[in-house]
Structure 1
Amino acid sequence: MSQESQELTLDGLRQAWQGAPLGVLLIARGDARLLYANPQIERMLGYGAGALAGLTLDLLLPQATALVLGDWPPAADTLRREVLAMHRGGQAVPVEISLSPLRLGAQACVLAYITDRTASLRLHRQMDGIIAAMPQGLMLVDEAGLIRQTNPALEAQFGYAPGALLGQPLETLLPERLRKGHAQLFAGFLSAPQLRQMGSGRDLTALHRSGVEFPVEVALNSVETETGRLALAVISDITPRKSAEDALRQTNAQLEEFTYVASHDLRSPLRGIADLLSWIHEDLPPEALTPSVTQNFERARVRIERCERMIEDLLDYARAGQREKRTALLDPRAAIEEACLTANVPPDFEVQMRVDSQPFRTSVTPLALALRNLIGNAVKHHGGSGGGRIRVSAQDAGRFAVFTVEDDGQGVPAGAQERIFKLFHRANGQVEGHGVGLAVTRRLVHAHGGSIVVQP
């Protein structure tokens, strides 16, 4: 090829590279002399237009010069490296270079594409700072199951020195008995990656460097990187929460045991008193059963029955703290209709329903009891004469369904909105009852992971 055709070809390449968004250098293989530099690389390294032509590569990319002048690897079309470029002002600029062989007529050349990594490295440092400051343990695991990055919180959780886990198998952090099964689970996650919350609803066990096991929750996600797919794991040590849950279960068990024992010990003397009164009533001659005496016998009978009902209420309250593990698909509309029937809503009350919730899985019996108690409470404490209106609604709220029971009655005073949920509290002394219904309802709802509030 003639010099003229070579120049024409180079001119054509110049036109293609002139507006390129990344730096471009055309380098002679024999002496690493720069045949061409585009405006982007000139700006990147602080040089004026045309100032780089004729310079040698070692002034700009000393770490890449050996690659250009050395023997090119067999069958290698492109070499990529992360190196430092030298700015005209003397400072080093982190760059990524991509080198490809190119013949320009009879001359052997190397074409270099250069990308400034300053911004990406700054972003990486910022991300590393965020990761290091996270209170939860975090690690990145490659497809081979090797740990590629950890943060200080994770190292502290597991008792390892900074960097000690890098390159170690993920199974290092698991008890021996769980390692084989975990490898299969991890492979399954990588084959179909998606955001997962592990340990919610069942225990996951991790292994401290000291050999002590502890409970954790793990959130898993997949991250695509230049080097391949990584699994991102955010790990929370839930030892304090598990300890609190164990303490709560123990307290509930003790409360339940106390309640059953107390109810049995109270029932027996009450039955004895009731039997004794019955025998006395039978032994008295007719002339002794004056209206006043008969009235006192009736008062005693009513009070004994009231005490027995209070004992039953106390048992209901204790049972309400137990979580029902069985679940079933529940139709919200059918549940509301059933609750209205079992609550014995009087015919002069109008019940309005609005259901904006799809069927969902839940513990059916506790929800049915809670709805029945709330609807019955709305009727009992309505305070009006000649009927009333009750509105019951259900709507979706993410992971929860929200049930609302409203009425057009006298309402609840602002200062009593919390007290009405206390055991044996009665907002209205003129209405029959023991002040247990709402306390049982709240205990039921809380035991199954929900919440309940009252609004005036």
Structure 2
Amino acid sequence: MSIALQNQAEVHAALAHAPIGAMIIDEAGVISWANQAVAALLGEPDPAALRLTLAFVWLPEDDAEVLRQMLDMFFAAPVDARPTWSRVVPIQTMEGIRQTAELTLTCAPGDFDKRALLYFQSLTRQTIAEKRFSQVFENLPLGALVVDTRQRIVQVNSALASEFGYPREELVGQPLETLLPARCRPAHREHVEGYVAAPASRMMGTGRDLTGLHRSGQEIPVEIALTRLENAAQPMFMAIVSDISSRKRSETALQQTNAQLEEFTYVASHDLRSPLRGIGDLVTWIREDLSGFELPDDVQYNFDRISLRIDRAEQMIDDLLRYARAGVRDTDMETISPAELVEEALALALVPDSFTIEVDLQGGDIVAPRAPLSTSLRNLIGNAVKHHGGASGRVRITMREEGRFSVFTVDDDGQGVTPGNEERIFKLFHRASPGTNGDGVGLAFTRRMINAHGGMVTVRSPGALGGASFEIHWPRILLKEHEDE
């Protein structure tokens, strides 16, 4: 065997099982040999069937003409100066399927001075992956952008453009600092250099309040997650940017409300109670001073009314303090049997014997603080009797599991809730039934206590028994809401 033939055999053997398509062509583009990978890419079962065909036939006319010109230039150059050429082109297989491939024209090793190697690298998977990424990227409900190592914005989705008030096309190509307040830019450059040196997926600015610069010039509070994107050309970095303005407003409003409530309860416990006690003492002294006189019945009656009003005002202050404390979450968790819980609530509610109690509990034990759940059930059972409207009736207590909640329902067959009052009855000092005892704190207290523990309480009227139907959704599967939990 000649040296030339031996070299050809070695090249064929080396390329026969290569993972990318390869064919050997002459200056006219005629194929003299092809491997199995290129045959599979072109839809030809037998690579030998490609011999003596033209490489151009798989390409669109314009790309085929470019390849002809490159072959002319390639073979016109000395062997040791022939350039390598690459081009991404669409190809059409024998089955009529269109694919995207990268063609690379290069010198064949050995004695193939009148031949060239043409590699076919299928980009179909890469193209599909890029399309999927673009679809996911664009449809993210959060703002997202991709930047290069020079901190230029390469890609941005509609959500981010909307968050910052820009048309999307206006941001592409701009420096990332466009979206940063001027005072943050020097420190940002240092953080970026450190991140590029050791990239890792993480939240940006942990422990610090981050802001972005809206097109209007206003700053918006944001959270940013960073990650590196693998790219053949150069490293890319993606940032997920969340506008947390609404959350910040809610947090601020909640903090203000809690601060006002604390201030109010301090005033109630100190500045209101002391004058009431002073009035009570004055009434007592006046009665003592008049103890030797025969007082008319109406005067005696008015003295009694004053004492009663003072006692009721002090009770309202106590209820306000209890209501404020109800917003504090109890962390003393224990495993509770629903049957024992309901039995305990019924005993403390002091339900008259004239009422029929029905209990239907379907569900397992609950891990929860006992006091707030027990108190809530007791209040609802007591209300079912107190606001029933009759001397006897039915009260039904049920439990079922629904998602991550245990749902307790307290139904009665009483007069129910007046239409339109379903939310009003949970307001502080609103009395559901004017003819009953109490100052209208019970349901407000119950809702505040349940909400503080991640649950909710609602009312429906008429319910299953024709009266009011209260539902407590109590979380049986707890969510992590605080860093120390």
TM-score by length of 1: 0.63
Residues 330 and 425 from structure 1, CA distance in 2 versus in 1: closer, same or farther, beyond 3 angstroms?
same
For residue 23 of structure 2, what is the aligned residue in structure 1? 26
CA contact (8 A) 1:31 1:56 kept: no
Partner of residue 112 from structure 1, selected from 105, 114, 119: 119
Q: Which amino acid is 2:383 matched to?
A: H
**How many Å apart are 1:29 and its aligned residue?**
6.1
Q: C-alpha separation between the residues in 2 aligned to 1:73 and 1:390?
A: 92
Partner of residue 250 from structure 1, selected from 253, 256, 264: 256
Partner of residue 417 from structure 2, selected from 390, 413, 417: 413
For residue 272 of structure 1, what is the aligned residue in structure 2? 278
Q: Which amino acid is 1:34 matched to?
A: I
Q: Which amino acid is 2:431 matched to?
A: R
Residues 341 and 396 from structure 1, CA distance in 2 versus in 1: closer, same or farther, beyond 3 angstroms?
same
Q: CA deviation digits over 1:120-150, x for unaligned, max 9?
A: 6587468647745767420236799986533
Q: C-alpha separation between the residues in 1 aligned to 2:70 and 2:40?
A: 19
For residue 404 of structure 1, what is the aligned residue in structure 2? 407
Q: C-alpha separation between the residues in 1 aligned to 2:178 and 2:64?
A: 43
For residue 309 of structure 2, what is the aligned residue in structure 1? 303
**How many Å apart are 1:284 and its aligned residue?**
2.9
Residues 432 and 176 from structure 1, CA distance in 2 versus in 1: closer, same or farther, beyond 3 angstroms?
farther
Q: How does 1:336-347 map to 2 (within 5 A)?
A: 345=348
Q: C-alpha separation between the residues in 2 aligned to 1:438 and 1:182?
A: 53
Residues 309 and 125 from structure 1, CA distance in 2 versus in 1: closer, same or farther, beyond 3 angstroms?
same
CA contact (8 A) 2:431 2:440 kept: yes
Q: C-alpha separation between the residues in 2 aligned to 1:134 and 1:357?
A: 37
CA contact (8 A) 1:369 1:441 kept: no
Alignment gaps of 5+ in structure 1: 360-366
Q: Which amino acid is 1:218 matched to?
A: I
Q: C-alpha separation between the residues in 1 aligned to 2:80 and 2:273?
A: 94
Report SS of the residue matched to 1:215: strand
- For the pair 1:163 / 2:172, whether they are aligned, the reply is yes
Q: C-alpha separation between the residues in 1 aligned to 2:295 and 2:111?
A: 132
For residue 432 of structure 1, what is the aligned residue in structure 2? 437
Moved more, 204-213 or 433-442: 204-213
**How many Å apart are 1:248 and its aligned residue?**
4.7
CA contact (8 A) 2:430 2:439 kept: yes
**How many Å apart are 1:260 and its aligned residue?**
4.2
**How many Å apart are 1:290 and its aligned residue?**
7.5
For residue 240 of structure 2, what is the aligned residue in structure 1? 234
Residues 71 and 434 from structure 1, CA distance in 2 versus in 1: closer, same or farther, beyond 3 angstroms?
farther
- For the pair 1:139 / 2:145, whether they are aligned, the reply is yes
Moved more, 233-242 or 403-412: 403-412
**How many Å apart are 1:291 and its aligned residue?**
7.4
Q: C-alpha separation between the residues in 2 aligned to 1:352 and 1:93?
A: 62
- For the pair 1:333 / 2:336, whether they are aligned, the reply is yes
For residue 483 of structure 2, what is the aligned residue in structure 1? none
Residues 215 and 61 from structure 1, CA distance in 2 versus in 1: closer, same or farther, beyond 3 angstroms?
same
Q: C-alpha separation between the residues in 2 aligned to 1:305 and 1:72?
A: 110
Residues 28 and 371 from structure 1, CA distance in 2 versus in 1: closer, same or farther, beyond 3 angstroms?
same
Q: How does 1:38-53 map to 2 (within 5 A)?
A: 53=53
Q: C-alpha separation between the residues in 1 aligned to 2:275 and 2:155?
A: 69
Q: CA deviation digits over 1:248-304, x for unaligned, max 9?
A: 533553455356446655434432332232223223346736877656544432332
**How many Å apart are 1:93 and its aligned residue?**
7.8
TM-score by length of 2: 0.60
CA contact (8 A) 1:148 1:166 kept: no
Give the percent of matched residue pairs that are identical in Structure 1 and Structure 2. Answer: 32
**How many Å apart are 1:102 and its aligned residue?**
6.1
Residues 330 and 61 from structure 1, CA distance in 2 versus in 1: closer, same or farther, beyond 3 angstroms?
farther
**How many Å apart are 1:171 and its aligned residue?**
9.9
Q: How does 1:27-426 map to 2 (within 5 A)?
A: 27-28=24-25, 32-35=29-32, 53-54=53-54, 59=64, 62=67, 65=71, 81-84=86-89, 94-97=100-103, 109-115=116-122, 117=124, 121=127, 124=130, 128=134, 131=137, 136-140=142-146, 149-151=155-157, 153-154=159-160, 161-165=170-174, 176=186, 190=200, 204-208=209-213, 214-219=220-225, 232-254=238-260, 256-258=262-264, 260-261=266-267, 264-285=270-291, 288=294, 297-318=303-324, 320=326, 328=331, 330-333=333-336, 345=348, 354-355=363-364, 370-383=372-385, 390-391=397-398, 397=404, 402-410=405-413, 412-413=416-417, 415=419, 416-426=421-431
Q: Which amino acid is 2:278 matched to?
A: G
Q: CA deviation digits over 1:82-141, x for unaligned, max 9?
A: 5235879xxx98532367876699785525224265x96587468647745767420236
Q: Which amino acid is 1:284 matched to?
A: L
**How many Å apart are 1:166 and its aligned residue?**
6.4
Q: C-alpha separation between the residues in 1 aligned to 2:205 and 2:444?
A: 31
Residues 353 and 281 from structure 1, CA distance in 2 versus in 1: closer, same or farther, beyond 3 angstroms?
farther
Structure 1 vs Structure 2 CA RMSD:
5.8
Alignment gaps of 5+ in structure 2: 58-62, 352-356, 386-390, 461-468, 470-485
Matched pairs, number: 419
Residues 233 and 116 from structure 1, CA distance in 2 versus in 1: closer, same or farther, beyond 3 angstroms?
closer
Q: Which amino acid is 2:279 matched to?
A: I
Residues 394 and 424 from structure 1, CA distance in 2 versus in 1: closer, same or farther, beyond 3 angstroms?
farther
Q: CA deviation digits over 1:315-361, x for unaligned, max 9?
A: 4445556x66xx857335289978986996258777968446567xx
Q: Which amino acid is 2:53 matched to?
A: A
For residue 363 of structure 1, what is the aligned residue in structure 2? none
Q: C-alpha separation between the residues in 2 aligned to 1:231 and 1:68?
A: 39
**How many Å apart are 1:246 and its aligned residue?**
2.4
CA contact (8 A) 1:29 1:68 kept: no
Moved more, 52-61 or 132-141: 52-61
Q: C-alpha separation between the residues in 2 aligned to 1:175 and 1:342?
A: 60
CA contact (8 A) 2:213 2:219 kept: yes
Q: C-alpha separation between the residues in 2 aligned to 1:188 and 1:368?
A: 49
